[in-house]
Amino acid sequence: HFQLSAALRSILLPLPCCWPLVYSPGATRTLSGLLLLLPSRITPPQPCCSRSAALFRSHGQHLAQTLRFAVEEINNGSALLPNVTLCCDIHDTCSDAANLLATLRALVRSGRRHVEAPGALRQYEPRAVAVIGPDSSRLALSTAAILGVFLVPEISYEASLETLSLKRFYPSFLRTIPSDGQQVKAIALLLQHFRWTWVALVGSDNTYGRDGIKALYELLATTEVCVAYRGVIPATKDGSSPELHKLTQILMDSRVNVTVVFSNRRNAQPFFEAVVQRNMTGMVWVGSEDWSLAQTVWQVPGIQNIGSVVGISVEQAEPTVLKRLQSWANAKKRAVCGSAGSTAEPRGNGASSIEGVQLNCTQHRPECQLLAHTPDIYDIQASYNVYSAVYAVAHGLHDLLGCASGVCSKGRVYPWQLLQKIKQVNFSLHNSQISFDANGNIRKGYNIIAWNWRGRSWAFDVVGAFTVNPEKLHIDQSKILWHTRDHQVPVSVCSWPCAAGEMRLQQNRHRCCFSCVACPAGTFLNKSAPYSCQACGRDEWAPAGSESCFNRTVEFLSWADPLCWALLVPTVLLLLLLLGLLVLFALHASTPVVRSAGGRLCFLMLGALFCACSSIFFTFGRPSRLSCLVGFPLYSISFTVFLSCVATRSLHIVCIFKLSRRCSALHESWRRRGGPVLFIACSTLLQAVLCVAAGPAGPRRHYGLRAERVVLECGAGGDTAAIVYNALLGAGCFVLSYAGRELPADYNEAKCVTCGLLLQLVCSAAVLSTRGVCRGRSAAVRSALGALCSVTPLLVGLFLHRGFVLLLRPQLNTAQRVQRAIRSYTRRRDR
């Protein structure tokens, strides 16, 4: 055991600042179980224990009567604690000392005058099994710390400080008012709902205000809301004090239209008096639950001109409870006030001594006026919290004593047992569900209220609600009458929002003060990172001032493109013509017309042209590795074979008719040693080497041509040598063909062949000159047109007129006609 000092023991009992009330109507079992700690009901507070009963403060009086009503209702009912009677002690907390003494008295065992440190909490029996109160967070910190050591349940009805939720330090603390942590979340959601991003925070100079604005500031730091100023309301009773006027001047200089006032009602009143004196109008004031419905605040003269007031309020009490409480109070008021005993002797100043006097819950002071004033909203809410706390204790006792069977047990009640049961209660109280979370906080939300001035009268409207499970804010803006010229939602921003696609350039330490700059092309503004533009992906693009990136269009000559079909039709017709000529020449292979065309060599030439024309199909559709590996090499090599055949044939004809006398032996040696075949093979091999040396032939993506497109094409740009090589071969063929312009008609191909070769040279030059201009789809069209324009004139010049003779002029396909033409050419040459 530890003993209190002698000085402290001497004043512990009787308590000079307490009005002990014990209720015991004589049931089978009596539990002196409830200790109510009230805010001071004495005004003025000095001396602390003034006994002028006529000066009771109405708020504490209403709370005391609510406790008496709840206890009497439970004792007179049969649903809760059927054979158990609750008793209560009611104490004023008019000072820190009174609060401490009342708390210690709750821990004193019956019949003793000192507090014992329990050897084991399982056998500790204090005077009270539960404590209800006190009202303020400052006083609750000390009572919760002391009672937590003994695990005595304490349920506060007004202490909302979030620190009290820490079970490590306050294991036995519970409350029937939501914690400030939930209130802070509700205010933060309220500011975000109306898009108020430039606000000021002021709080009262106490634990409630300082911790409230600190928690709100830390929470707003994670949102888009910026705090222009954070200050403390000086503890003064005079609204004209220089400190308050300095604070209001700072608010005016901050250029904020919204100010959050996280204060108790005592400090809020002089603050708004100063606001009225400074003529601060047209602003929005967001109020915490302690003052948002306080009569002392809305009665400040001229306060209806300060602007709009939107506040947080505890959920409204059930009207049925208020009516029953008022009926009970009226019945008590009509009762005759009597003294509890003969020891209460009147004094000359009209007060009576309370030393040695103990009043029970049905007795009262002669000078007392029960519910002397009509309760305001604040009294009603706090009274309902006290009412809920009493019922929470009763339900915990009901469960602990096994009263569900109809008869409660006579076992002892230990505080730690009751604490566990109270934490687990979950019951409906007049359409309100009462339960506590793991931190001892009641699962209750807030109402969002807006002040509404109708003429000279004051009223408020419930415009929304904040729920805690889940945490969600709902506001009906149509119910809010804004005190602005256009009656629209006021705006409070440091800088106006940027337009779509504009990033913010921060101007000072506040992230809400910025200038706007449009994001450049190729970048976009992510709404989650408004202070920098992010680059688009390689396959994406974005115009200047964009909020998102778009997929680039992959450009190639699609099979569905009309140009593709425009090229596909002549390509197919040309291939059919080549096939027809091959068949026709094969059927007339031994005729003079076919032999004059090259004999067996003409089939190689026609096959080469067929392959060159077939390469056009590889320019259609999405480029792939196969199409890139086959397309251009097939055309280049096939065309090289054809030009090589044309060159050897032209050389052969020129040598026979024009050089037979000069180099006949050389020509015979060339033919005998397989010169034509060797030339064609070597020329083709050289072209194949050039195609391989051109580099990787896979599809390539080009991103720098157009911002919104990706050009997909084949090759690495090293195929110029192959094109130039074919151009040189074509030039050689052109020279040899031109040299045979005077040959017999069957062998004179200068007119048609030279024209076709000239067109082929022009196409090669066009392809080379447009390589840097035509890319992607246009490059495919260029390649297809180049192939068609190269193959078609050569086919017509070399083979088409021979096919015409084979089909329609068979009389010209005889050996006699050919011999006559040769003799005629020989005679002209000899002359």
Q: What is the DSSP string of 136-186?
A: SHHHHHHHHHHHHHHT--EEESS---GGGG-TTT-TTEEESS--HHHHHHH
- 374 with 519, same domain: the answer is no
CATH number for the domain including 822?
1.20.1070
- 647 with 777, same domain: the answer is yes
Q: How many Å separate Cα 767 from the centre of its chain?
A: 54
Model confidence pLDDT, tens digit, residues 101-141: 788 887 877 656 667 666 666 777 888 889 998 888 888 88
For 387, phi and psi rounded to 5 degrees? -60, -45
d(CA 582, CA 799): 10
Q: Specify the number of domains making up the chain.
A: 4
**pLDDT less than 70: residues of the chain:** 1-33, 38-57, 95, 97, 110-114, 116-121, 317-318, 329-330, 332-376, 455, 656-668, 695-697, 715-718, 740-752, 771-773, 813-831
- 537 with 594, same domain: the answer is no
Model confidence pLDDT, tens digit, residues 143-198: 999 999 889 999 999 888 889 999 999 999 999 999 889 999 999 999 999 999 99
Which pLDDT value is given to residue 750? 56
One-letter amino acid of 797: G
For 114, phi and psi rounded to 5 degrees? -145, 160
CATH number for the domain including 56?
3.40.50.2300
Specify if 342 maps to a domain. no
Sign of the CA dihedral 499, 500, 501, 503? positive
At a CB cut-off of 8 Å and minimum separation 6, what does 134 contact?
37, 38, 39, 93, 99, 140, 143, 156, 158, 159
The tokens for 133 are 């109160």
- 611 with 469, same domain: the answer is no
Q: What is the dihedral of CA 411, 417, 418, 422, to 10 degrees?
A: -140
First to last CA, the chain: 153
The tokens for 315 are 């959920």
d(CA 589, CA 593): 9
Sign of the CA dihedral 472, 477, 479, 482? positive
Angle (nearest 5°) at CA 616 between 611 and 620:
145
- 172 with 187, same domain: the answer is no
At a CB cut-off of 8 Å and minimum separation 6, what does 430 contact?
318, 320, 321
Last residue in a domain, options 373, 393, 414:
414
| Pairing outcome for strands 502-506 and 457-468 | unpaired
- 410 with 452, same domain: the answer is no
Whole-model pTM? Answer: 0.62
Specify if 511 maps to a domain. yes
Specify if 300 maps to a domain. no
At a CB cut-off of 8 Å and minimum separation 6, what does 547 contact?
500, 501, 524, 525, 527
Q: How many CA atoms lie within 13 A of 105 on its CB side?
A: 27
d(CA 519, CA 109): 75
Specify if 47 maps to a domain. yes
Exposure string for 504-529, b = 16+ CB within 10 A, e = fewer: beeeeeebbbbeeebbeebbbbeeee
- 449 with 377, same domain: the answer is no
- 394 with 535, same domain: the answer is no
Question: Counting Cβ atoms within 10 Å, is residue 117 exposed (0-12), middle (13-18) or buried (19+)?
Answer: exposed
d(CA 653, CA 651): 6
Q: How many CA atoms lie within 13 A of 195 on its CB side?
A: 7
Which pLDDT value is given to residue 135? 82
Expressed as residue numbers, the domain containing 760 is 562-830
Which pLDDT value is given to residue 575? 92
d(CA 483, CA 306): 9
Which pLDDT value is given to residue 117? 64
- 230 with 113, same domain: the answer is no
Question: Counting Cβ atoms within 10 Å, is residue 333 exposed (0-12), middle (13-18) or buried (19+)?
Answer: middle
d(CA 643, CA 626): 26
Specify if 582 maps to a domain. yes
Specify if 340 maps to a domain. no
Percent composition of the chain: helix, strand, coil (DSSP 3-state, to 5): 45, 15, 35
Specify if 490 maps to a domain. no
Which pLDDT value is given to residue 90? 84
Which pLDDT value is given to residue 365? 43
- 156 with 206, same domain: the answer is no
- 193 with 164, same domain: the answer is no
Specify if 46 maps to a domain. yes
- 371 with 468, same domain: the answer is no
